[in-house]
Amino acid sequence: MVTLSLGNQSFGVDAGELVSYIVDGHQYIHQKGSAGWSHSDTEMFPIIGPTAEAKFQVETPRDIAIQDQHGLLRELNYELVSQSKTKLIFRKNYKARTPVVNSKYPEKSNKQYLFWTYDFQFEKQFSLSEKGLEITFTVTGDRDTPFMLGYHPAFNLVTKNPVIIAEEKAITLAQVLAVGSKAFSVLGYEEVILKDKNELKISTSGFGNFMLWTEVSNMICIEPITFYPYAVEQNKLHEGFQYLKNDAKQFSVLLSVVG
């Protein structure tokens, strides 16, 4: 694990996964081993959402791709390509139609291998400043490469009644728990605030939406997404694609403590 610090802030990354963000001694990231989820963050790419009801098939302009829930990016390993006192850059590369072993097979899926029909490069950068911790994602590929992107961080909860604020909306933990596996949609927002022991602002660029998920009271996933997958049937996930143009596409998430 790599740990970097600046003033009263520090963050830790293990093989590209954000496992710690501490400000003034308070841990904001859900810890592995605690109830709720076996990870602390991951990415959903090149699709978001489940695919089992569509026989794990996703339509692309080139052909049908085989994808399990939330895509195949999480099955690839990050390479650390750059490190400084306050910044880390990780990268994943994928060649079109390369089979990728599905970690959900055979317990949760009948597809042993997954593949996408386009090349892509995916970069994840962590940068610590006085503003907070910024995570930037850069997607590179051929023109017209289709994709969705979701960031899936899990946040530690320490009070009984945390609230997520999206401008005029106040969403309770009970509301999120009631929705279950589909996740609570918060559409059309680039910023929310998690009010727990302290207030953590999650400000984004490029995503445009969030969804919220948890099955326990000690953590919550606040997930910036480009598309809410449960708005369509699983065989129509392609309706949520963005497409690369001539340049790389960049997205960002800034974690900052309020007050």
Q: What is the token pair recorded at 213?
A: 């998920």
For residue 259, what pLDDT is reported?
74
**Residues 6 or more apart whose Cβ sits within 8 Å of residue 182:** 230
| Total structural domains within the chain | 1
* Mean pLDDT in consecutive groups of 10 residues from the start of the chain, 259 residues: 98 98 98 95 98 97 97 98 98 98 96 98 98 98 97 98 97 97 96 98 98 98 98 97 96 95
**Residues 6 or more apart whose Cβ sits within 8 Å of residue 228:** 48, 185, 187, 209, 211, 240
**CB-CB contact of 199 with 258 (8 Å):** yes
Q: What is the CATH number of the domain that holds 126?
A: 2.70.98.10
State which residues form the domain around 192.
Answer: 2-258
Q: What angle do CA 87, 208, 174 make, to 5 degrees?
A: 95
